[in-house]
Amino acid sequence: MAGLTVKVHPRARRTAITGRLGDAWKLALAAPPVDGKANEECIRFFAELGGVPKSRVRIVSGSTSRVKVVEVDVVAQEELEKGLL
pLDDT digits (tens, 9 = 90+) for 13-72: 999 999 999 999 999 999 999 999 999 999 999 999 989 999 999 999 999 999 999 999
H or E stretch covering 78: helix 77-84
Q: What is the pTM of this model?
A: 0.91
Residue 75 pLDDT class (50, 70, 90 cuts): confident
Q: Are 21 and 15 in contact (CB under 8 A)?
A: no
Residues 8, 73: Cα–Cα separation, whole Å: 21
Locate the DSSP E strands across 1-85: 2-9, 16-21, 24-28, 57-61, 67-72
What is the CATH topology of the domain spanning 2-84?
A: Conserved Hypothetical Protein Mth637; Chain: A; (3.30.1200)
